[in-house]
Chains A and B, each alone.
Chain A
């Protein structure tokens, strides 16, 4: 399936919002792939982190449907190694925010089993809330 690229998308609202929320210049990434090479969660992802960013560069909103943005643990390994200083965790966060703002929470806190809540570290609960709640 051939994808139509056009100025409406490459410089459209989606790209603008990602850049605004993340504060990143998405075209600064030259797709070297170092982020994907070192990502500790990459083995579970449907798209590599660099591929998610590539979709954003092309203005393709399908980046929002990737599981990768939810699997990103914000560990900052990619940022610490990026030769261009691109803050990919912020871009991942921006993509998550766009989904959450549109579709609402992805986590029902009250539905979590009581024994899970009592056993899970408090930090994990806070981080999870931050990540999955709008």
Chain B
């Protein structure tokens, strides 16, 4: 007979405000199998945890129930506590009497107290039948795959390689450098992106730990955290690699300007997008850095920049702010003025979003030093008239409709995920948002992890980002990879499915229903086997198995029936 200790938490007033914890503690004291029962103000605090450790030692407990908040909150905490006291951590369970009881029954203390007691009793039944379990050991290949050789991918690659681990860098294009290689210069200081990149590219390509595969794409992905099997198609041939972690850094492209019919992009040569203007400004571009009207090669005397050209436009499906356009437009207008000092630059904007160190000062410099004229309003229409591009807009500050007969119009179209990102996400089993950007595991606290273990995100594949942010994310993703690689061994939660070989008929239904591809029919024995490191313990196979051969560790039918027995 197991000797279970019950620890009932007040959670300050969170639980004690609706549940009479002393009564609950007293009631549990006489419950079968309970050897010890006590309440405490905050069981998760250090003295609270000490209470558990002392009770295990002094009363020889071999099972622990902590009645407190949701197990999502502190199950790990309390399992670590009992492990420190020498007890197998899987003999500790959390009974949720806060989210599922006190918080929702503040108006009925009597019944809330009864319900809390019953919840705890069910968990006592579970613990009485829990088996001690050991974490499953997993193999760990200390080599990373980086998908995308733009600035985010290069940063991640150089950081991981600098720590001495192998990196496979897969790039779809002829060379690395990504979008940054197409830009003329950076904002704030007009640094040449080519120079900035050269250093970064050399750090990566010269590092013996890095293998750069260009004109290559990920074809297939198998395996799991620590032991992925990747098939890469390179220049027509398939190559297989084993890696332990993956960083996705597939970047962005621009929203197609031909979809903005009212602005005439792609229809009129003198309406171009931001990246085309970058190429025009770049010394390595088609005009050798000279700003010229594409129609006839004249130097434009009046240039109109249209911000939010397609973005912040839910009707068009792009409700989001593309984030970097305010800054690069300010930079482009200033670079234009440096080259054509007698010219006039107009920028139509809705808001000027200059959110970064030195960014606001930069846009103000554009206005004051370069006399860029900002006009507050979204452009409605661009059309040719008398050899110029007529821009119809508004200046809501003066309350006037305005028009400019421009020589050149530059559209700041929004960043969208790069082509093929969605298909890649499917191969990697990583979620994307409604715009096709890769989804992070948590918007605040886990920005560079995907929800798929071992797959990390960096750069504009996750959302619009500028260079410093992409670099920061590349380094952050690398840090995640390195903290994985520096572990001696990695383990997997042992709450996984098991198959009773006596009962299994090999029907294969469990293989069909498993969402994690953790099941297969063994080729020789013809019965189902569980690939434990892939199993997430969801229980789909238990429900599907007609023979009840599938079971989940520490969620056995005996346990579940005993738990129900405690209630009825």
Residues of chain A whose beta carbon lies under 8 Å from any beta carbon of chain B: 1-7, 10-11, 25, 27-28, 30-31, 50-51, 54-55, 57-58, 60
A2 to B395, CA, bound (A): 10
8 Å CB contact of A5 from B372, B376, B404: B404
Q: Does B397 contact A (CB under 8 A)?
A: yes
A58 to B373, CA, bound (A): 8
A-B contact pairs, 24 of them (CB 8 A): A2-B401, A2-B402, A3-B401, A3-B403, A4-B402, A4-B403, A5-B346, A5-B373, A5-B375, A6-B302, A6-B405, A7-B302, A10-B344, A27-B368, A27-B371, A27-B372, A27-B373, A50-B397, A51-B399, A54-B395, A54-B398, A58-B373, A58-B402, A60-B398
**Cβ contacts under 8 Å, A57 to chain B:** 373
Q: Does B51 contact A (CB under 8 A)?
A: no
Q: Does B275 contact A (CB under 8 A)?
A: no
Let me know if B368 and A51 touch, CB within 8 A.
no
Let me know if A7 and B344 touch, CB within 8 A.
yes
**Cβ contacts under 8 Å, B400 to chain A:** 2-3, 58
Q: Does B164 contact A (CB under 8 A)?
A: no
A92 to B376, CA, bound (A): 23
The A contact surface, by secondary structure, is: mixed
8 Å CB contact of B301 from A5, A7, A60: A7
**From B346, B371, B401, residue with most partner A Cβ within 10 Å:** B371
With both chains docked as a complex, state the minimum distance between the C-beta of A19 and any C-beta of chain B, in angstroms: 11
Q: Does B70 contact A (CB under 8 A)?
A: no
In this complex, what residue of B is CB-closest to A63?
Answer: B398
Let me know if A31 and B346 touch, CB within 8 A.
no
Let me know if B404 and A6 touch, CB within 8 A.
yes
Q: Does B392 contact A (CB under 8 A)?
A: yes
Let me know if A11 and B344 touch, CB within 8 A.
yes
In this complex, what residue of A is CB-closest to B395?
Answer: A58
In this complex, what residue of A is CB-closest to B394?
Answer: A2
**From B301, B392, B395, residue with most partner A Cβ within 10 Å:** B395
Q: Does B367 contact A (CB under 8 A)?
A: yes
Q: Does B261 contact A (CB under 8 A)?
A: no
**Cβ contacts under 8 Å, A27 to chain B:** 367-368, 371-373
Q: Does B235 contact A (CB under 8 A)?
A: no
A29 to B40, CA, bound (A): 62
Known: A3-B403, A5-B404, A6-B404. A55 touches B398 (CB 8 A): yes
A4 to B401, CA, bound (A): 9
A54 to B367, CA, bound (A): 13
In this complex, what residue of A is CB-closest to B360?
Answer: A30
Residues of chain B whose beta carbon lies under 8 Å from any beta carbon of chain A: 301-302, 343-344, 346, 364, 367-368, 371-373, 375-376, 392, 395, 397-405
A51 to B397, CA, bound (A): 7
With both chains docked as a complex, state the minimum distance between the C-beta of A51 and any C-beta of chain B, in angstroms: 6
For the complex of A and B, the 5 pairs showing the least CB-CB separation, nearest first, are A7-B344, A2-B401, A54-B398, A27-B367, A54-B397
**Cβ contacts under 8 Å, B346 to chain A:** 5
8 Å CB contact of A7 from B343, B392, B402: B343
With both chains docked as a complex, state the minimum distance between the C-beta of A5 and any C-beta of chain B, in angstroms: 5
Known: A27-B367, A55-B398. A2 touches B373 (CB 8 A): no
8 Å CB contact of A28 from B367, B372, B373: B367
**Cβ contacts under 8 Å, A25 to chain B:** 368
A94 to B421, CA, bound (A): 58
**Cβ contacts under 8 Å, B392 to chain A:** 2
**Cβ contacts under 8 Å, B373 to chain A:** 5, 10, 27, 57-58
With both chains docked as a complex, state the minimum distance between the C-beta of A84 and any C-beta of chain B, in angstroms: 8
A51 to B375, CA, bound (A): 13
With both chains docked as a complex, state the minimum distance between the C-beta of B369 and any C-beta of chain A, in angstroms: 9
8 Å CB contact of B397 from A5, A6, A7, A31: A31
In this complex, what residue of B is CB-closest to A7?
Answer: B344
With both chains docked as a complex, state the minimum distance between the C-beta of B172 and any C-beta of chain A, in angstroms: 42
Let me know if B402 and A3 touch, CB within 8 A.
yes
A5 to B395, CA, bound (A): 11
Assuming A5-B403, A7-B344, what are 6 further A-B pairs, CB within 8 angstroms?
A1-B401, A3-B400, A10-B371, A10-B373, A28-B368, A54-B395
**Cβ contacts under 8 Å, B376 to chain A:** 31
With both chains docked as a complex, state the minimum distance between the C-beta of A59 and any C-beta of chain B, in angstroms: 9
With both chains docked as a complex, state the minimum distance between the C-beta of B348 and any C-beta of chain A, in angstroms: 11
A30 to B366, CA, bound (A): 12
Let me know if B371 and A11 touch, CB within 8 A.
yes
